[in-house]
Structure 1
């Protein structure tokens, strides 16, 4: 499925001839401009045929079936009717907050609108603005798969009331809202959730997301993955927009979503996903302008003369404009091709120079052949797959001498470019510490870029502390060792290594555990090197994982050693509680784990934060000290946070009275959710572009 924007559309004269009169029609009040149909290419059925009779039967039974399902799951139904070659497969879904009567009425109308806009089409999909209901029927068995297709993207034309310098912060808040809503959808038996995020300095953001309830939790999560990318591409910085598909839908706005009236600016900016064999303007041609409105428009005598002039001038003007468009497009394409060739040549030279430097250092670092890695990992077999990270899969391997290795194979679409790859190789190869993962070597061959690490058999920290079936494997003594090891590793990076290093992506999934459950900090692709005299830096592009980011970094791009201290504080709270900061929403008053921890601390109920498996193993005074340290690390202002030297000292000084922490960052951000159980406040801080788990954002082409 391909999404067409104005840049993608080919410059055909007939397009301009169609678009210009249609834009004039959009100036007329569009009372019925709410239907968005997709006409499939599975052929036509004959009037009075068996197929038409089967469709008529479904149109009378499916709406009632969907409406009657509201007592069990949601307003949803699938059905098949007839026998091949006249069998019809159908799916109907109403918005989760609709009532049964409104749902049935909407679906009855959808069958009629489908036939009006796609006459005699065997495959038709109908959406409505605001998504009160959607309908698809086809002679193809699309019900046999969970693939989300017929995707329709509608970004708002309006930009937010914020300065460009705060765009990253707005993006952070938007994806906080989207991720938390998506997680709530998978937690709901209705597969539906609405949310609201209130920030005093910005407009309130409202969100609605829904999956068809026949999807599994994983299928629903996968369905939304592409929506994050589409949101970033088509709606970045905009006040609102919606994405509709046959299996899931999403919408966010700066006004309550009960109002589903379509603004003309939204319709004009719709980006339909259609088959390339269909005219790119099919959706506009079939936009639901009522015949009465069109007749009234054409029937006004005062405009007839203007229409005659337009009918003569428009084709000529359209051809001229399209000619100019084609010239500009061809020129830009030629220039773009030249730039790409030059950039590719520069990249090859940089890679060759880098490989040469590595070969000169072969005594301390191994430059592997790709064939060696293939042999070690059994051709990257599924049996050797250890996990899937944000940058690509990680495989277990074994070298001919019996040494076990872990190979990170960078995906070409992962977002980690050659700069990050080179940064990790050159940096981590120089670091020597028991609590830092050891990089054995790398491989660069064509498009393949691989990092070869020591193999650590116990996977990563998140594998244990966030899984109730494994938390008992890491008792309090083991967690103390893990906390101490992470703090020592960070202290080495910040103070005792040859250069001051800021990790910038410290999180549970980047803490690996060896055979003895000793922690090792990994993944230095985003690390920043400082000279000993520097204390902080700034960037135009924020990289890292939302939820672990310090507020000054997420909103302003300012990073320092205190940024890592903030991430350590979040990680410490997660180790103590066994809960992710991202997606923490079972407590009704606060957005995230930081806010919940602060509430318990202020109320003197800090022991309630402890994960059940360690609650009986830790003394109250010791628990108070660890939580106190964690809250000091996540304070809103960087100057209020301790250094890692202070943190290590506080962890090892049981008798010292610690300062009282101030309130943490993000503690008062709220997201309200409405579902069948009432109102709940929750959040998910990790911005996920391709996964519903914490995924690192790595777009920082310059000025690292």
Structure 2
């Protein structure tokens, strides 16, 4: 029952091997002195209220058990956890904050228990998990996708939890208007209301259906040899509350318990939930120290957070009734979920009695059932209304076609989409750009020309003309634009809308007053901006945040493919915004393999992408590392060669790293007025991002944490010969020359994009 922060003095206990701080009320961040506990074998910090990023504990190489269930920490799961090769058990659940990639655990040969539940993990389930000696595996409530690996050969695996989706059964023709369930008990009548029995046994993966309702239970009691009896409970003392029949039994779960009311008429309902703590005691003994804390969701909306029955009722064996009015049923189904988010006690008073508990559920409609006559009236009125709407729609389309000439199929399809942006006509674009006057042309990029424009309301815009060489179908193209327009983040250039008329493909973006980062750092002197160190660090962090959003946080995961200083634009306050995200896919021809259409820029492309066409978001991480070096040095990666011994800025940085004098890389224009430690840190992070092996590059969310000082930087000194050696570097150029020969038209446009400014540029560029 401790509260407050963990004292830093714990770090002095360097011989400590076992530390259990579970089920307290501890807050704050773990002290950095924790890295001194190099002899720890077991660390348990579950059910607390810590904040800050989840530590990697990478200095604790002897760790066998790491337990962080509902600890309060923020994700993502740090990449440094892969260095803890001696772990036999990992339990990490309910992380706040950013998304995570699946951690690299392939070298943890001793791992037998793995729980990564509700950690916002995306992507596929690694195949190597089937080769580990796992006995228990819980990956439930994440954002995993793809196929589940074949665990047939995993002879030790006893329990595997991936998700808990229930089956869907057909409904009878007649809708229901109420439902009453005595959870975990027999049929019971209260007044004139009959509560149906719910006596079926539960289990770690259970789905039970009974007419117009059902329930699913997921979760395994990890620390006990549980049987079906653990999933139901009976009262252990005499109950004296009203309607005590509802509280003599209850259903519980170690993780998630969901009740479904099915075949209900659509409309508003009142949901009443009955609770009573009939397991814990208040007899001033060890038995009274148990805490049951869980969340309740109705129709996927959180209605009770960190709900503690005993605390609310002010004692055990006391009823707690919670009513929720105006619960909307739209598709004839109501879903009530009780979810254990890792808080409370798991071994007090006994192991295996934690998790949500519910005694009874009542669902009543807030409206009267429709009579057959009223249904007929509604049907007739609906049919008449539909007919009128259809007629007016046809007349409007006919009028629109006569007055607007010809509306192309692409524009028609576009009108059917909710792009969350504006639909501009070609006439509006012409007026805004003064008929695409050359004086308003501000760039010539790989995707087409860029013009500055002014809307009637005074809004400045940048209009990008897409080259009309895409062979995508109308619907696919419009869908792509719609998905891109829905991605909004402070560090992404905002897409206001588009214009699709005939063969014209135009995108309308926000105008960026300070042009590109490339021009501000190493453009012509008259265009360069005086960027101080704090501004450069803020720009670097902003770019990292934008990429982390594209890779891990947005609903549509995007690999940019062409991160470079010219594709980072600066607004009036010098805030960085990434441009051209998602456009590489729009200009790909049909049936063109990625290896013959590399959408990137030499000098920024990751080796595995340039040489073999292997594309993941780690390619963007590599490109970001190059841009971060350019920010620190104020120099163009490909144009900077201090001597014939060096290929590029990155090559020079690697040599300086080996010599231990990275500070020489910092832009001399900064003078002495900059934070040397922060500069060295940024350069080290940049070099970490440009590791030749994509597996060793950090995720962008981890890069953000490192830049902000929330995560330690892993020192990794690389051999500069990987960039300077003719044998290693030559294939990159050969591959690039090959691409130019294969598609001269595409390559010429692509080459232009390497050296030209992008959206929001204020002048045309030269090769």
Superposition TM-score, scaled by structure 1 size: 0.43
Greater relative contact order (Cα 8 A, min sep 6): structure 1 or 2?
Answer: 1
Q: Which has the larger radius of gyration?
A: 2
> Greater strand share, 1 or 2?
2
More helix by share: 1
